[in-house]
Amino acid sequence: MNILIADAGSTKTEWVMVESGRDSTFVLTPGINPSTQSRTTVWSSIQIARNQLNFSKIDKIEFYGAGCRDHAATMMSAMLKEAFQCEVAFVHSDLLGAARAGCQGQPGIIGILGTGSNSGLCNGHQITQTRPALGYLLGDEGSGNYYGKLILKAYYYQELDPLMCSQLEEAYPHIKENYLSALYSLPMVAAELASFFPWIAARRSDHQIKELIHSGITDFIKNRIQPLLKERHYPIYLAGSVAFQLKEEYRIALRSYGIEELYFIEKPLKGLIRYHEDYERD
């Protein structure tokens, strides 16, 4: 069976064509989110993948991505079927993709920490329990945009020491004048806020940044992990760029909750290939 698997994020989409008896073919295209992007933008990215993949026939498509729910997921499935001339196209959430990639058919808790954040309990194949994803206005604890809000609040409330304040202004000179008005009018506020995280991560040894990072980790565990641990302790799998950069901090924090089984998923697509090879499901 020839299966096309895709893992879509806000900035990039990774595609892999898994063909029986042949090596896998990987393709990289722009990010896809059918809930926030126009149909034209999504279709353009799909066509890039379609033109780069060399295949004769696709039996099934398994697409995992942010914003893939309700009407957006239905639209996504229809476009994939049309573009690839495939009768079967399943569209799943990015949370389920990370869960299958990490859990590999066994129960576990999955957390995503990237531009935004999410979490859920997986039985190995499906998400059985989750916490509401409230977005950057009310939720996204521990995410890139969450840390962006924390550092900007500290900056504008003049809570950063002079040296740290100067370093932030040097890296992001646009924050000094009329930045807040521009920020609130941006079409992708979460991504803009998350752009501050690399700067934060690079200064994690500073005591102010340590406190900021600890605050984000604590809020994520309290709101998105602990409520899923009521019945028993499960292995925890964390995916996303923020999780991967804060591996040691999360290991220390979760150890204080008695959790030792903590794993990080750097490349969900690799795990998804293995999952679909071992558990081919309709």
282: confidence class by pLDDT, cuts 50, 70, 90: very low
d(CA 226, CA 224): 6
Say whether pLDDT at 20 is over 70.
no
Q: State the DSSP H helix or E strand holding residue 121, giving kind and residue range, or none if neither.
A: strand 117-122
Side-chain half-sphere exposure of 208, counting CA atoms within 13 A: 16
Helix axes 162-171, 144-156, angle to 10 degrees: 120
**Residue-wise pLDDT tens digits, 105-132:** 999 999 999 888 899 999 989 999 988 8
Return all residues near 58 (Cβ < 8 A) that are at least 6 apart.
Answer: 2, 3, 4, 17, 84, 85, 86
Go through the domains of the chain in sequence order and give each one's CATH number: 3-87 (3.30.420.40), 95-267 (3.30.420.40)
Give me the residues paired with residue 3 across strands: 18, 60
Residues 193, 152: contact at Cβ < 8 Å?
yes
**Residue-wise pLDDT tens digits, 182-204:** 888 887 788 889 999 999 999 99
**Amino acid code (one letter) for 34:** P
Pick 239 or 66 by higher pLDDT. Answer: 239
pLDDT of residue 32: 87
21: confidence class by pLDDT, cuts 50, 70, 90: low
72: confidence class by pLDDT, cuts 50, 70, 90: confident
**116 phi and psi angles, rounded to 5 deg:** -120, -170
**Amino acid code (one letter) for 78:** A
Token pair 């000179």 in the structure block, residue = 173
Q: What is the mean pLDDT of residues 266-279?
A: 87
Beta 262-265 vs 236-239: how paired, if at all? parallel
**Residue-wise pLDDT tens digits, 209-257:** 999 999 999 999 999 998 888 766 789 999 988 999 999 999 999 988 8
User: For residue 100, how far is the Cα from the chain centroid?
Assistant: 14
d(CA 61, CA 82): 12
pLDDT of residue 23: 57
